[in-house]
Structure 1
Amino acid sequence: MIMSPVDTTATHTAHPPFTASAKMAEQLQQLHVDLIDLHIVGKQAHWNVVGKNFRDLHLQLDEVVDAAREFSDTVAERMRAVYVTPDGRIKTVAAQSSLAEFPADEVDTTETVDLITGALYAVAATARRIHDDVDAEDPTTADIIHSILERIEQLAWMIDAENRVANQSLPRQRNA
């Protein structure tokens, strides 16, 4: 059977029930960039952390990296589903990330805990800042952000606990 060549001149027209606004596209791009940077920062920390409780923190950093990679992919795929083009190029990440730069040299475990907790909370701040606007436009995408936020804040709490002193360190829940 002879197959005829595919007609590449045909125009494809999609009629999706929803496409993201420019504002939502910008907000998802920011979360995407922050998650990519969290992956990079997590690997930098993973390779260069030294000191007390090294192994435990080294393994926790793998969890951060895995979550960040998975979440950045989830956000990028959701962006495509709502007709937004994600930009994960390194120059874009470097220019747009909300995360602080991580040191290039060895970093003590105590400082690493504080730096990674700060990076996790920077991603959480982005997710919290955009969540309600995204929810108003597209609750399905907001559900994804909610799941990301839940895990990122859990990781931050678990890692931050490494440096906390029981009943002395902030933040503490205050009794009413």
Structure 2
Amino acid sequence: MSKHPAIAEHIMFDEKTTAELVALLNQALADTLDLAYQTKQAHWNVKGYNFYSLHLLFDSLHSQLATHVDDFAERAVTIGGQALGTVRVAGAVSQLDEYPLDAKSSRIHVDALVDRFGEYTSRVRQAIRKAEKLGDQDTADLYTSVSRAMDKALWMLSAHQEA
């Protein structure tokens, strides 16, 4: 028998703080799932100049986002909450703009993703501050690592907007 209590019995935060952190993480989960599949939409449908390089870039970004989805969900559960990660839930609560489903050209896809990645990274930065305010440095660190990766993604996308 272990000398240490199981994680399920380990209370990290009071009930109110836990609820706020879980809500914050579930919002990030929904936004990240939505952004991942908006990026996959671009991957599937991009045409035109730089098709191949953008096709590969979009797929790579989708994979990165899928990792972040898992991290947000697992953190919510780790601190005593429930991860709400179905596609239907994500679609209902995501704060991102809807993706232009009629987009075909590489320029339209890049512009749409730049807008959404920019919006997303801004929300991630807000979440860093909120997690810190709630006293959860581990969740703030998670958001910081996502912010760093998405800043790089945004840079790579916006580089394609250069003439």
Band the TM-score falls in, shorter-chain normalisation: 0.7 to 0.9
> Could you tell me which of 114, 123, 127 is aligned with 1:126?
123
Residues 1:147 and 2:141 are matched in the alignment = no
Selected match of 1:16 from 7, 10, 18: 10
1:20-76 per-position Cα deviation (integer Å, ceiling 9, x unaligned)? 522222111111111101111011110101110111111110111001100000110
**Identity score, percent:** 28
CA distance in 2, matches of 1:36, 1:148: 13
Q: Distance in 1 between matches of 2:156 and 2:136?
A: 31
**TM-score where L is the length of structure 2:** 0.88
Matches of 2:120 and 2:84 in 1, distance apart?
17
Return the letter of the residue paired with 1:84.
Answer: G
**1:13 deviation in Å?**
9.7
CA distance in 2, matches of 1:14, 1:141: 18
Where structure 1 has 5 or more consecutive residues not aligned to the other structure, the ranges are: 1-11, 166-176
| Cross-structure match for 2:75 | 78
Task: Quote the Cα distance in structure 2 between the aligned partners of 1:98 and 1:67.
Answer: 19
Q: In the aligned structure 2, how far is the partner of 1:164 from the partner of 1:96? A: 33
Residues in 2 aligned to 1:128 and 1:164: alpha-carbon distance in whole angstroms: 26
Q: Distance in 1 between matches of 2:57 and 2:145?
A: 19
Q: How many residues were matched structurally?
A: 154
Match of 2:22 in 1: 25
Give the superposed CA RMSD. Answer: 1.7
In the superposition, the TM-score normalised over structure 1's length comes to 0.81
Gaps of 5+ in 2: 1-5
Aligned-partner residue type, residue 79 of structure 1: A
Partner of 1:172: none
Q: Provide the residue aligned with 1:171 in structure 2.
A: none
Structure with bigger helix share is 2
* SS in structure 2 of the partner of residue 107 of structure 1: coil
Q: CA offset at residue 150 of structure 1?
A: 0.5
- Written as runs of structure 1 = structure 2, the 5 A alignment for 1:1-176 is 14-19=8-13, 20-136=17-133, 137-165=135-163
For 2:53 and 2:119, how far apart are their aligned partners in 1?
Answer: 23
Letter of the structure 1 residue corresponding to residue 26 of structure 2:
Q
State the SS of the aligned residue for 1:85: coil
